[in-house]
Chain A
Amino acid sequence: MTVIKSLFIKGLRGIKNELTLLPGGNSFIIFGDNGSGKSSITDTLEWFYKNRVSHLTGEEIGRIGQEALKNTLLPHDEESFTSIEFNDNSLDSQKKIYHKKNSIQSEYSNTTPQFLQYLENSQKENLILRYRDLFDFILASKKEKLDTLSTIIGLSEVTYTRDTLRKVLGELKKEYKMGNFDSRISFQQSKIIGLLGRNINSETQLVEAVNEIIQSLGIKEKIKTADGIDDLLAVLSKPDDYHLLELQTFYNKITDWIFNLPAAADTLDQIYTNYYKHYQDLANNIEKLNKIVLENLLTEGIKAIKTRAVGSDLCPLCLQPKNLCELLDELEARTQELREFKKEKIQLNEIKKNLEKEIKNLVQKIDILLTDNNMMTEENRMVKRRLEGFKNELEKYSIQLNRDISPGQHLLPPAEIRISCEPFEDVRAFCLQKQEAAAKSKRNDFKYDAQRKILLSLDTYRMIDRLKKERDILENQQRSMELIYTTFLKKQKECIDAFLNYFSGYIDEFYQFLNPGERVEKFALVPLERDEDLVGITLEYTFHENRETPPQKYLSESHLNCLGIVFFLTSVKAFNRWNRFFILDDVMSQFDNEHADRFTRLLFEKFPDYQVIVMSHEKKWVERILDEVKEKNWQTYIIERDEEGNVSLKPFINSAG
């Protein structure tokens, strides 16, 4: 793991001349009065790793705050840079900023893949804690706490994977339900019974039944497989019969299609009813829906308040006097509400896509039937007209789906566009009648009748076989996805629980170290779940034997300060894998002597193998611990600025002697 051996800074933030720090990988404390340049070192390190300085970012000074980085007293043509040498010298690099075509550019001198990988890994680590950031996590909402931890450990990737698996499983379930397999199979079976006088459950049974029929025609040869039936039909068929048999198959397809219609119409109706409900809900809040565009603005406002971008008690958006705590609550509530609306709008679009897909499938099936040659004949004109009529009926749904919610266009209620399948009863009756008439016309033609039964039975058997396969494959996919999804949920829970337990353990241990015997204990990060979803994290603790949350309810500002430091240190322990150093910039301002001394011991005892970098303006604290830190090879410096703006570092000498 990486520690800093030497650090050189020139022309960045408050450091004009070149400043050299040679800690050699050891911990160090820099003492300095306010404005002496301590935070310039922190800012420079943050910029080196994160390519931004969090408290300098903003609309006026740019996204990464680079414009505010260059020292204002440095001549325009002089380079500003920081160079860092590490214990692993393959990572040594300089990062400089320079002017190019009226803009400020930056670049690293080290461009090796190894360094770039190190930089990328470091960006995810917790390296710097400033006083202003202390309360961020502690005072954050439950969702913000979850978001913070999610970002650090990449929980959003886990949530995304889980949601995707759940969605795919849901799609399979829906597909299976809409397949309406049992009912379709039993309809086909009833047709086979009508043709052969018995049910057929296997290829052997079909072959047996067909052999019995051809035996009655005096044919001695026997078929052995269902595929053999095709050859048999080719032998039996006379040219005159061919068209009649083809027509029989055609009517068979139409009756199949009509049988499936009620389920298809129901599916459309269900999806549309759901769409209508969501549409109406959103349409009733059209003003709020139109305000979704404000979400980014409000989010920026929240950010501006949190980063103290404007003066105290001024709204960052309208610059009117406001109580910032109340304003923050109000903005967060409004943002949350807009996010919910945005989510609902996305959901509405998903339902819309689903309905469009169903309509497309139905239209495709109708088009296949409409292109059948038999559909073009005069006698089947009515069938054709009705199918085209049904296709037009589907247009009603498409028209509704094209309505735009924003200008306040209304949708027709589901009952008004629901497609009735009853009119197709006459088409079904027509097809059956045609089939019967054909059979009647060939009443005494045993060969034709045998062919008809064999052909239609084979078609029906193949249809059943296909439906069963389709059903089994879907069942298999559904079962597999179900198992995969539940295994994932189990793994996710185990990992999150392990993470929260680990994290809670350190928070409690460090807090107790800093505040022993205060009857505030057993801190724990507790997951908040809703419908298998992790929706937030809360910080619980025992306050005088009672479980309480949130911390600000009972803890004083200095104790919240402690908790902020403890959270940061826990994050360092838990997450920093590539860097063995961290920076604490003026984080002890709220500590009394006792707490400050305990904090020093905490760093010594719990982080002995880390390079700890402390910036402080607490001179008495540095004087008190000077001998002890020297024993542990820590270095101590005093940072000073002269009248010309030059910053220098000197060894810290105890003025008390």
Chain B
Amino acid sequence: MSIQIKSGKEIIDEFFDSIHRIPVVDPKITAILDQHHRNGKFTATHLSNALFKLREETPDDSH
């Protein structure tokens, strides 16, 4: 593919490579998204479950 334009895969890969640089975003959430993308498990169900698990795991003293 030409240098000027990007394939869908490139758009997505670039996005996930830079996702941790989005300001004010919880790094644990970016890690979940990135990990699911890399493991080929990027589905709404898997992600919602992972976020639910993260909410359950968040220690009590976080508040």
Show the binding face of A for B, using Cβ within 8 Å. 150, 153-158, 161, 164-165, 167-168, 171-172, 465, 468-470, 472-474, 476-477, 479-481, 483-484, 487-488, 491-492, 495, 498-499, 502-503, 573-575, 577
Contacts and interface: CB of A to CB of B under 8 A. Distances in A.
A499 B62 CA distance: 44
B44 A575 contact: no
Nearest to A155: B8
A498 B63 contact: no
B7 interface: yes
B29 A156 contact: no
24 contacts: A154-B9, A155-B8, A157-B12, A158-B12, A161-B37, A164-B42, A168-B44, A168-B47, A171-B48, A172-B51, A469-B62, A474-B55, A477-B26, A477-B51, A480-B24, A483-B25, A484-B30, A487-B19, A502-B2, A502-B5, A574-B2, A574-B5, A577-B1, A577-B2
A161 to B, nearest CB: 5
A484 B22 CA distance: 7
A566 to B, nearest CB: 16
Contacts of A472: 63
Contact of B6 (A156, A481, A495, A503): A495
Interface residues of B, number: 34
The 3 A-B pairs with the shortest beta carbon distances in the complex, nearest first, are A154-B8, A167-B44, A157-B8
B12 A484 contact: no
A574 B3 CA distance: 9
B25 to A, nearest CB: 4
A158, A468, A503 pick with most chain B CB within 10 angstroms: A158
A298 B63 CA distance: 58
B22 to A, nearest CB: 5
Contacts of B42: 161, 164
A324 to B, nearest CB: 33
A502 B63 CA distance: 50
A465 to B, nearest CB: 7
B7 A154 contact: yes
B39 interface: no
Interface in B21-61: 22-26, 29-30, 33, 37, 42-44, 47-48, 51, 54-55, 58, 60
Contacts of A172: 51
B16 to A, nearest CB: 9
B32 to A, nearest CB: 10
Contacts of B8: 150, 153-158
Contacts of B26: 476-477, 480
Nearest to B1: A577
A124 B51 CA distance: 35
Nearest to B58: A473
A405 B60 CA distance: 47
A156 B58 CA distance: 35
Nearest to A154: B8
Contacts of A499: 5-6
B24 to A, nearest CB: 6
Nearest to A469: B63
B27 to A, nearest CB: 9
A470 B44 contact: no
Contacts of B19: 484, 487
Contacts of B55: 470, 473-474, 477
Contact of A484 (B5, B9, B25): B25
A168 B48 contact: yes
Given A154-B8, A470-B55, 6 more contacts: A161-B12, A161-B42, A168-B44, A492-B11, A498-B4, A575-B1
B25 A153 contact: no
Nearest to A167: B44
Contacts of A469: 58, 60, 62-63
Contacts of B29: 477, 480-481, 484
Contacts of B22: 483-484, 487
Contacts of B23: 483
